[in-house]
Amino acid sequence: MSMEPIVHRIKVALDVAPADPGLRARVISSLPLDRRQAHRARLAWAGPVAVVLAVAVVAGLISVGAFRARAPSYSGTVDVGDCRLPVYGTAKGPAQPGPGLYEEGFLNLSTGEFTPATPPSTVQTDQVVSPIGWFGANRGISYDPVVDQWLPVPLAWIAPDGLSYAYLTGSVAMNLRLRDLRTGSDRVLMEYRVTRLLGWVGERIYYVRGGGYEVELWEVDPKSGRDREVSAPSLKEWWLVGPGSVWGSAWYSGSLSRYDVATGTTDYWNIDRILDVIGIDSFGHPFVLQRPESSGSDPGPNEGYPTLMLAPNRVVTISPKGQLLPLQVTVIPDGDRTWFSAAGQRIWVYTTDKGLVFLDESANKSLPDGLAVAGGCV
């Protein structure tokens, strides 16, 4: 890729919130007339205020244990049982693997064998738009056990009853469509309005309209077709859905936004050194990647330490060995387990008592690398 397109995109990406025309006048008029006196006055206050603040902050952090990513004492491996894990990998044809062509099947955790789906399934992911897959290994392929079908969408786009799925068509202001898996019928829910489809929470579908400085979170009831804006336009970006909530980021380091669909309120979960939110567990807790402590100059390019947020200021480290995870990781909640997979890497499994461990170590089997998890174990 040449430099010009990305430089242009940086400009476009940042040029979303023009300065208030009155900013200059406001700034200059707010300056004190006597500049030396103002500096001395501020310095005089700075010492005592800093001491008071420091004491308050330390006391507060001690009392709530904020931002301390505590590592529970993990040991051993996860009992993975003998279920079959839906996975997919790049399809290998007689020549080169086709772009966007994947082969699906099941990984038998008791034998370690990969069994291709029957009948053979190769989902072509470019048939639908899966923008949520840009940043994850999951290109938008999921296994729906209710209808025993492989679907070309992320897991969150499949209805909780497993009988239909939402998807997008179009290129920019996209159409939101709903496909019924029992009848095969297909209908348009929204036309030319959707910039990002997040997925289902309960019986409603959540999506994003607008962008830049004016990101809006919307919900639609697929039964009635009625939709409504649930979060005022803002710079918050919304990225993921989880049980009872929609998750986003409040735009720069420091917090996640959580929209509670039951109460209609948004709260903020603070976490130090946040790199990104990568998924939500079955209980509604976000998995977050954190920068290494010494991230100032040369951290790993696109990886971080995985942590789980149990409450707005309560974080636990989930990796017993302190290993890093790539940003392009797919997180699949599956009851009290969560599966992590990334392109070209081994599969991880997380439980609260064992932490994040390699699946092949827990299964005590040599498993193929580079498979992405497409759903919960069946």
Partner 1 sequence: MLDDEAGLIERAKSGDRTAFDALVGPLIEPGYRFAFGMLHDREAAEDAVQEAAFKAWTRLENLRPGSSIRPWFFGIIANQCRSTRRTRWWTVVKLEAPRRIINSPEDQIVRGADLRRALRRLPVDRLEALVLHYYLDLTLEEVASVCRVPVGTVKSRIARGLEQLRPDADRITEAFG
Site string for partner 1, 35-64 (x = CB under 8 A): xx-xx--x--------------x-------
DSSP codes, 126-165: GGSB-GGGGGSS--S-EEETTTTEEESS-GGGB-TTSSEE
Kindly state whether residue 214 participates in binding partner 1, applying the rule CB under 8 A. Answer: yes
CB 25, min distance to partner 1, A: 9
CB of 5 to partner 1, least distance (A): 7
| Least distance to partner 1, CB of residue 192, Å | 9
| First vs last C-alpha separation in the chain | 42
Residue from the set 33, 119, 321, 366 that interacts with partner 1 by CB under 8 A: 33
Q: Is 4 in the site for partner 1 (CB under 8 A)?
A: no
- What radius of gyration do the chain's Cα atoms show? 24
Residue 17 is a binding residue for partner 1 (CB under 8 A): yes
Per CB under 8 A, the segment of 74-82, 178-186, 204-212, 278-286 that binds partner 1 is: 204-212
Stretch that binds partner 1, among 150-158, 177-185, 212-220, 333-341 (CB under 8 A): 212-220
CB of 218 to partner 1, least distance (A): 13
Q: Is 297 in the site for partner 1 (CB under 8 A)?
A: yes
Contact partners, residue 288, CB within 8 Å, separation at least 6: 256, 271, 274, 275, 276, 277, 278, 306, 307, 308, 309, 315
The sign one gets for the Cα dihedral 186, 191, 196, 199 is negative
336-375 residues in contact with partner 1 (CB under 8 A) are: none
CB of 321 to partner 1, least distance (A): 23
* Of positions 71, 230, 235, 261, contacts partner 1 by CB under 8 A: 235
Q: Judged by CB under 8 A, does residue 323 bind partner 1?
A: no
- What is the token pair recorded at 42? 């501020």
> Among residues 177, 196, 204, 337, which is the contact residue for partner 1, using CB under 8 A?
196
- Decide: is 211 part of the binding site for partner 1 (CB under 8 A): yes
Q: Which stretch binds partner 1 (CB under 8 A): 27-35, 109-117, 145-153, 180-188?
A: 27-35
Q: How many residues bind partner 1 (CB under 8 A)?
A: 76
The interface with partner 1 within residues 302-321 (CB under 8 A) comprises 302
Contact between residue 310 and residue 286 where contact means Cβ atoms under 8 Å apart: no
Please identify which residue in 153, 201, 275, 374 interacts with partner 1, judged by CB under 8 A. 275
Q: Which of 173, 230, 261, 324 binds partner 1 (CB under 8 A)?
A: 173
Burial of 271 (0-12, 13-18, 19+ CB in 10 A): buried
Min dist CB 215 to partner 1, Å, is: 7
The least distance separating partner 1 from the CB of residue 117, rounded to whole angstroms, comes to 25
Judge whether 212 and 17 are in contact, CB under 8 Å: yes
Place of tokens 């974080």: 315
**Member of 121, 142, 164, 234 binding partner 1 (CB under 8 A):** 234
Distance (Å, rounded) from C-alpha 307 to C-alpha 292? 12
CA pair distance 369, 367, nearest whole angstrom: 6
Residue among 77, 122, 270, 282 that touches partner 1 (CB under 8 A) = 270
Give the containing element (helix H, strand E) for 58. helix 35-64
| 341 and 316 Cβ atoms separated by less than 8 Å | no
Residue 214: which residues within 8 A CB-CB, separation 6 or more? 233, 234
Contacts of 234 (CB under 8 A, 6+ apart): 214, 215
Determine if 134 is a binding residue for partner 1 (CB under 8 A). Answer: yes
Give the shortest CB-371-to-partner 1 separation in angstroms.
20
Q: Which is nearer to partner 1, 62 or 232 (CB)?
A: 232
Token digits of residue 169: 């068509």
